[in-house]
Amino acid sequence: MVRCGPFELTLVHPSGETLPEVEKDGQFYAVASPGHMFKARVTVHPHLHTPQMLMQGIYNTVSLKVDGIKVGYRKCIRATGTTDFPGFLASGGAQSCSYRSFVFSTPQATEAKKATSLQFVEGTVQAKVYYARDTSFHQEVRPQGQVATNETVAPLPEGKKFFLQPSLTTGQGALQAGPGFSTSTYQVLGPGSLATLLLRYETASTLLLRGVLRQDNPAHQAILQRFPETASREEQQPAAAAGRKLQRQQDAGGEEGGGQQQPARQRQRQGDPEKIDLTSKPNGNAADEILAARQRNQVLSCDLTGDDDAPQWSTVPRPVHSQH
């Protein structure tokens, strides 16, 4: 969540579940996937001026931009509370209104835009909060036209890595109905906003490439496991992993539970390569292993096609090349 004083901004699923979030260098990111709907939720927590606001009839009025585009309406919160922005306004009046749901989408690069910096407005949700007072005047609510979206991004400057570009933007989803707007008019108090809340949203794979999400952080690992593109293979295919473990046991001692594992040197003499773990050794010990293999007229071979996270090294006879 992004919070400034008593004001808070989060992105939530239609069910109300908050999207996972992560923070780095003061910037907050919601982690999401293309094709999923969401709502923007603004909460005003109780604070020092709450009793005074209630007595004087002062409201918090909130405006919202998604990818730099105004959504077409504002929401009012009486002193404290929570309100949701369900989508872009399609049409609205005093009796009813309709919205186009917010849906995460994959952006398309266009030469019509020029990137002057890496601070893209695409991939952001921004809420501004103001004090406002009900003027007791009412006016007719006029229906408004459909709001355009911003689903394209400028190509990155030359030499910049692709994952620095926004990985998500927001498109328009299904049409949904909502209650009509209030006919009351509000006067904004003060010269500017009380708070500006900016929340970025990206895919898990992009945040992993940027180093915002880290595999060695347990909290981050829990987030990565929620998305198929970043979940580890062990989590995605537990049955396959169990099968590989059983096969290794059978290879080591025949049928499961029968026989004993042969010594490493004996397996090597029988043609089974000796497995050596270089990843847990200091540099000096790893160099000793390489030298010892050379003295035995062998080489160290690394299997990068295995399913284990760590590289699998083994000693194999040095190949003999003949000329014809």
Are residues 215 and 270 located together in one domain of the fold?
A: no
Q: Note whether residue 236 is domain-resident.
A: no
What are the pLDDT digits (tens) for 164-182? 999 999 999 999 998 888 8
**Pair 19, 13: CB distance under 8 Å:** yes
This prediction has a pTM of 0.70
CA distance 149 to 166: 15
Tokens of 260: 């004993």
Are residues 213 and 321 located together in one domain of the fold?
A: no
Q: Note whether residue 74 is domain-resident.
A: yes
Are residues 178 and 321 located together in one domain of the fold?
A: no
What are the pLDDT digits (tens) for 31-55? 999 999 999 999 999 988 888 888 8
**Pair 293, 302: CB distance under 8 Å:** no
Residue 33 domain boundaries: 2-224
CA distance 219 to 225: 10
Q: Note whether residue 15 is domain-resident.
A: yes
Q: How far apart are the first and last CA of the chain?
A: 70
Q: Note whether residue 68 is domain-resident.
A: yes
What is the domain count for the chain? 2
pLDDT of 276 reads 54
Q: Note whether residue 55 is domain-resident.
A: yes
pLDDT at 19 over 70: yes
What are the pLDDT digits (tens) for 226-274? 999 999 765 555 544 454 554 555 455 544 444 444 544 444 444 555 5
Other CB atoms within 10 A of residue 251 CB: 11
Final residue in a domain of this structure, among 173, 197, 224: 224
Residue (of 94, 85, 75, 69) closest to 144 by Cα position: 94
Beta-bridge partner residues of 279 = none
pLDDT at 184 over 70: yes
Residue (of 313, 318, 319, 320) closest to 273 by Cα position: 313
Are residues 102 and 193 located together in one domain of the fold?
A: yes
pLDDT at 219 over 90: yes
Are residues 268 and 218 located together in one domain of the fold?
A: no
Are residues 213 and 278 located together in one domain of the fold?
A: no
Are residues 171 and 39 located together in one domain of the fold?
A: yes
Please give the DSSP secondary-structure letter assigned to residue 146: P
Q: What percent of the chain has pLDDT over 90?
A: 44
Are residues 182 and 282 located together in one domain of the fold?
A: no
Q: Note whether residue 42 is domain-resident.
A: yes
Identify residue 178 by its one-letter amino acid code. G
Are residues 109 and 46 located together in one domain of the fold?
A: yes
If you average pLDDT over every residue of the chain, what do you get? 80
Residue 223 pLDDT class (50, 70, 90 cuts): very high
Other CB atoms within 10 A of residue 100 CB: 21
Mean pLDDT of 286-299: 63
